[in-house]
């Protein structure tokens, strides 16, 4: 079979399917395998899968197991709420891990190599089509590859997605800057690397946490671009970065000089779709469900996709090794499309909550301060075992309306909105 795309989703799927005894060829458009970016957060629903793959110990050695996740107000720096990540590990059975994106990518790449996945570079797929006995992909070079099954893990700008829906990426008008700070810098020495911290502010937020055993501090600065809102093409520029965070607290503003100012990431997602399978071609990862990043589940969902698909291949594989692809793909689509729709829509809503201003910001802060540290009503639907069938999918949380907050210090019942 063929997997298109050598990112985290494609590598994870290739490894998962190779575990089921399938011969897998992975086609990557770049001349060499690699991953850009900095830190990535892996919640227990992902580390559980890494453990099943036999890769969790290596991931632990490459990353950091933080003690807490803390949310602060970006304007005054005050703590709003926190998760005890050690207690969270006890609840879900697996840790919350932060790791450099390139380290996770390298881990999966090595695993694929050991599993015998055929890794092919300089192979940019431009078209997909079903054939009588499977599917075919055509490369920019004109060469073609055929297999009994093709998994399109080709990202936000997927060439395969056009088989399913005529849509375009949706701009959020937000842009992200990233950067890392070496451990010897005073900013790192004065920072608790055992915490994942997010500062939420009006139309902006700032995240930092330790990486590579505390060798560096990973930082992400995200803000809404006035130029994007005005329809200008040149948006998200460094001058907008500085202006967006001008009113934030010292702890945030002191991190801005360490951001990489020559590259920024405009934030797009796509509207959820329910159909991921077209004959012997299936979408996986961002080609199916690119989310905004606010609940840190983009790469996690892609890894889950590959694991679920592999499990259903195993369940629908006959003794002679043949796979009932129709049944396996139907089962994959039935459970993953709805779960990922939930994540995509929740990510959008969570981003809106982070970036509130005025009275709504005060109401949000009051609700978050009232939340008990050990209230898991907003994470149980996400961090538990990955569902293999729709009936295993847990119920969603119940939102708390902002206007239920008694601003001014009154005690509130319930959790964060």
Tell which residue, 377, 409, 406, has the closest CA to residue 83.
377
**Sheet with strand 135-139: strands edge to edge:** 125-130, 135-139, 144-147
Q: Which residues pair with 181 in a beta bridge?
A: 217
Q: How far is CA 268 from CA 76, 150, 161, 297, 302, in A?
A: 29, 25, 16, 14, 16
| Candidate list 128, 209, 376, 383, residue with the active-site label | 209
Cβ contacts of 317 within 8 Å, gap of 6 or more? 20, 21, 323, 324
Angle at 298 between CA 292 and CA 300, to 5 degrees: 155
CA distance 332 to 316: 11
CA distance 202 to 224: 9
CA distance 183 to 95: 24
Burial 357-366 (b: 16+ CB within 10 A, else e): eeebbbbbbb
- What would the two tokens of residue 80 be? 């709003």
What is the number of alpha carbons within 13 Å of residue 398 lying toward its C-beta?
A: 3
Angle at 228 between CA 222 and CA 229, to 5 degrees: 105
Tell whether the torsion through CA atoms of 10, 15, 18 and 23 is positive or negative: positive
- What would the two tokens of residue 274 be? 């329910």
Cβ contacts of 310 within 8 Å, gap of 6 or more? 13, 16, 17, 19, 20
Q: Check if 294 is active-site.
A: no
Task: Note whether 174 and 46 are within 8 A (CB).
Answer: no
What amino acid positions are annotated as catalytic residues?
A: 209
């Amino acid at each position: 079979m063929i997997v298109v795309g050598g990112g985290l989703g494609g590598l994870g799927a290739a490894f998962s399917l190779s575990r089921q005894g399938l011969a897998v060829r992975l086609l990557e458009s770049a001349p060499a395998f690699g991953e850009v970016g900095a830190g990535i957060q892996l919640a227990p629903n992902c580390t559980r899968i890494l453990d099943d793959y036999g890769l969790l110990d290596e991931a632990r050695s490459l990353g950091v197991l933080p003690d807490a996740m803390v949310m602060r107000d970006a304007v005054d720096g005050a703590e709003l709420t926190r998760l005890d990540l050690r207690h969270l590990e006890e609840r879900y059975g697996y840790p919350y891990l932060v790791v450099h994106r390139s380290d996770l990518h390298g881990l999966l790449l090595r695993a694929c190599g050991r599993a015998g996945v055929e890794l092919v570079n300089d192979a940019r797929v431009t078209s997909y089509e079903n054939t009588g006995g499977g599917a075919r992909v055509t490369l920019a070079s004109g060469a073609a590859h055929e297999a009994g099954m093709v998994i399109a893990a080709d990202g936000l700008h997927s060439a395969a997605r056009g088989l399913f829906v005529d849509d375009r990426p949706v701009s959020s008008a937000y842009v992200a800057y990233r950067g890392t700070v070496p451990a010897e810098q005073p900013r790192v020495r004065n920072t608790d690397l055992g915490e994942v911290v997010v500062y939420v502010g009006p139309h902006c937020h700032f995240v930092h946490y330790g990486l590579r055993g505390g060798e560096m501090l990973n930082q992400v600065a995200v803000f809404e671009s006035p130029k994007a809102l005005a329809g200008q093409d040149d948006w998200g520029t460094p001058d907008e970065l500085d202006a967006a965070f001008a009113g934030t607290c010292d702890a945030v503003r002191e991190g801005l000089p360490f951001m990489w100012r020559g590259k920024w990431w405009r934030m797009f997602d796509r509207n959820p779709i329910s159909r991921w399978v077209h004959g012997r071609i299936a979408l996986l990862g961002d080609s199916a469900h690119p989310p905004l990043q606010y609940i840190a589940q983009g790469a996690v969902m892609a890894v889950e996709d590959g694991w679920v698909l592999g499990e259903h291949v195993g369940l629908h594989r006959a003794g002679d090794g043949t796979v009932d692809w129709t049944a396996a793909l139907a089962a994959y689509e039935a459970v993953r499309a709805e779960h990922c729709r939930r994540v995509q829509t929740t990510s959008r809503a969570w981003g809106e909550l982070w970036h509130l201003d005025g009275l709504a910001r005060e109401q949000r802060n009051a609700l978050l301060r009232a939340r008990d540290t050990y209230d898991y009503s907003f994470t149980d639907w996400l961090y538990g075992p990955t569902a293999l069938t729709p009936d295993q999918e847990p119920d969603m949380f119940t939102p708390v309306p902002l206007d239920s907050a008694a601003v001014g210090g009154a005690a509130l019942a319930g959790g964060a909105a």
